Amino acid sequence: MKSYGQLCAVARALDIVGDRWTMLVIRELLIQGPLRFGELQGGLPGVATNLLTQRLRELEEHGVLVRESVRRSSGSTMYRLTERGEALEGVIRELLKWGAPTVSEAPAESIFQMHWLSQPARYLLKDHRPQEPASTIRFGNFDDGFDLTASDGNIEVRPCSRDAQLRAVVSGPRQVLVGLLQGAIDLAAAIACGVEVQGESAALIRVLPQTGTPSSADQDNSLPSR
């Protein structure tokens, strides 16, 4: 898009990352790590291929990402954020903190992908039992989800890993999961709305926001030995 032509740091940033789809490309690469063209397209439903190409070229020119030819077998190219690109994490974080309250107002036909919840989870969830041993939960499934680890009071999120030691696997309807992570509803209500927790629900409770009313879900049911 055309430059704003202003000698201002905000305008300069928007000259580079202010175009339509651009920040969502950054989001995908921040969440999922290096991706191929098709994978990127999959996380950006509705983007035209020519437009995605154009955005990737522009971001490459500005040093936000790099094209990497994978040498194995054929020349499949990967897109990877540079250090400069990863520095956009702060912008993404502030955008999602601001946008989170409006997710519930999204058009009903909105598309949902579980991995989009990984950054909100990182910022909205906390490890409420720091003294307990590290514990990893999977949200969603391997094809679209993320692994969240609570340890020493910290929360980390990563793309799903084959060899993660999972204490629990969480899945369910889109809107309910969003509300659960934001603390808008508690676990008992979420389960009533169709959320399924396989494994130790205590591992999930450990990181969920505390909702106002200490519900029956708090003392929980069992810790099945896994």
Binding site for its own copies (CB under 8 A): 1, 3-18, 20, 23-24, 27, 45-46, 62, 87-88, 90-100, 102-103, 105-107, 109-113, 116-117, 119-120, 174-175, 178
For residues 3 and 62, what is the distance between their CA atoms, to the nearest angstrom? 13
Instruction: Give one word for 166, left, alpha or beta, with left for phi > 0 and alpha for psi -120 to 50.
Output: beta
Q: Which of 8, 11, 33, 49 binds DNA (CB under 7 A)?
A: 49
Position of tokens 């063209």?
A: 37
Q: Does 36 bind DNA (CB under 7 A)?
A: yes
Q: 198 is written with which tokens?
A: 């396989």
- Cβ closest to DNA, residue 73 vs residue 221: 73
155-174 binders of DNA (CB under 7 A): none
Residue 39 contact, options its own copies, DNA, none, Cβ 5-8 Å cut-off depending on partner type: DNA
Residue 91 contact, options its own copies, DNA, none, Cβ 5-8 Å cut-off depending on partner type: its own copies
- As measured in angstroms, the least distance from the Cβ of 162 to its own copies is 26
Q: How many chain residues are in contact with DNA, going by CB under 7 A?
A: 22
CA nearest neighbour of 19 among 3, 6, 37, 35? 3
Q: 130 is written with which tokens?
A: 């720091």
| Residue 215 · residue 205 · CB < 8 Å | no
Residue 50 contact, options DNA, its own copies, none, Cβ 5-8 Å cut-off depending on partner type: DNA
196-215 binders of DNA (CB under 7 A): none
Q: Does 76 bind DNA (CB under 7 A)?
A: yes
DSSP string covering 75-102: --EEEEE-HHHHTTHHHHHHHHHHHGGG
